[in-house]
Amino acid sequence: MSKQDGSGRLYSPPGADDTGANFLHVDMDAFFVAVETLDDPSLKGKPVVIAHRDGRSVVSSASYEARRYGVRSAMPLGMALQRCPHAVVVPPTFDRYRETSAQVMEVFRSITPLVEPLSIDEAFLDVRGVRRLWGSPGEVASLIRRRVKEEIGITCSVGGAATKHVAKMASTASKPNGRLIIPAARTQEFLDPRPAGSLWGVGPKAAEALAGRAIHTIRDIRETPVEVLARVLGATQAQRIHELANGLDARGIETERVEKSVSHEETFSNDVSDIAFLNAEVLRLADRVAVRLRRGGVEASGVAIKLRFADFQTITRSQALSEPTAVGQRIGQVARELLASVDMRAAVRLIGVRAERLVPAGSAALALWDDDGEWKQVEGALDVLSEKFGTGSVTRAAFLNSDQRRPPERPPEESD
């Protein structure tokens, strides 16, 4: 089924069985670094870290040479440079990454129309209907890797399997610059020995809790009764991971993905303890979230906030709404109430507002009166002005006197 090289990477040799492996997961290798290396070939083979050059910056991406020193995405730049002092720090150019991502996705869509982008640097493809054009799943995977290299100039890793979940696991196991195809009949053989934490939905804390019950591998999960897993993880998550451990995943390709949440975050140049400023910031972020909701034709049924303190501890708080809304004033009001419920034991490094459980606009039953009617008119007028004069041309008076310097919005994240 697969072979292993000296680095532990799994790969499928040419002509390997690919029966039933109809889903492919394609993941660019160290995408941000790869794009920067296209523009500056002198970076090739060096430990490169993509990050803004300031003391508050975090790593957006790292080359595989830097990763050998323990450098990872989302790590504070200072920590990354402690681990790899000779790393080359390159400021990110996100417009360039988006441009290259669009080119990559066009390569995918030229092979099959059934493409589901997951992020800026990865996507699922359903290749069942293209056998006569391009060959078997394994041959399509090889074609994708070859075309991305020849047409874009970067490398990618491709996993193939009978389900999306296993395909993504296969691409991860084959990185970097590899191809691993799991035939349908050998799905369980591939899954069983892998760590429990490699399953989607099993984070570090869940993996630790499972290990406390001597559940270390996917096989252990598969052989553990769901009711036992539920005592550790809760009923819903236990059922989900038990199905995944058995190779069950009914999801198909979503060519038009519906956002399940919309959020905006801000990382401050200096840690903030001023509650009045944080309240104003929450409202500003809520306004931005609401604009995106209205543009997307959706409303939020829940609101959440995210806080990261100076010691990097991160917490979230959430609340369901009595009625769905896309009004910034309402979202901000709830977000402020959530903020007031937090024990502010330390200064804040990052704050975020998220709209959750999105539903189509107007899908809720109409109430006899609308408490947000006036604000809907105000914010609707602001939308019109923003379209005419540009985003940010009109803002709340409360934001005009803030002299807190804000860094650019947090960029899109690259997958590892």
* Assigned token pair, 413: 């994240």
74: left (phi over 0), alpha (psi -120 to 50) or beta: left
* Radius of gyration in angstroms for the set of CA atoms belonging to the chain, rounded to a whole number: 23
User: Is the Cβ–Cβ distance between 348 and 266 less than 8 Å?
Assistant: no
176 upstream amide cis, omega within 30 of 0:
yes
Which position among 36, 65, 116, 122 bears the catalytic label?
122
> Which residues lie across from 48 on neighbouring strands?
88
Q: How many CA atoms lie within 13 A of 115 on its CB side?
A: 19
Assigned token pair, 112: 């099959």
| Number of alpha carbons in the 13 Å side-chain half-sphere of residue 64 | 12
Residue ranges of the binding site for Mg(2+): 27, 121
Q: Which residue ranges make up the annotated binding site?
A: 27, 121
Q: How many CB atoms lie within 10 A of CB 24?
A: 30
Helices first, then strands: H and E counts in the chain:
15, 14
| CB-CB neighbours of 395 under 10 Å | 13
Residues 220 and 198: their CA atoms lie apart, in Å, by 13
Active site residue 122: yes
* Helix/strand/coil percentages in the chain, nearest 5: 40, 20, 35
Alpha-carbon torsion (350, 262, 115, 108), positive or negative? negative
Q: Is the dihedral of CA 135, 138, 139, 144 positive or negative?
A: positive
From the CB of residue 6, how many other CB atoms can be counted at a distance below 10 Å?
5
CA angle 48, 308, 97 (to 5 degrees): 35
d(CA 75, CA 352): 18
Contact between 256 and 331 under an 8 Å Cβ cutoff? The reply is: no
Q: Which letter does DSSP use for residue 152 in this model?
A: I
Residues with a catalytic annotation lie at 122
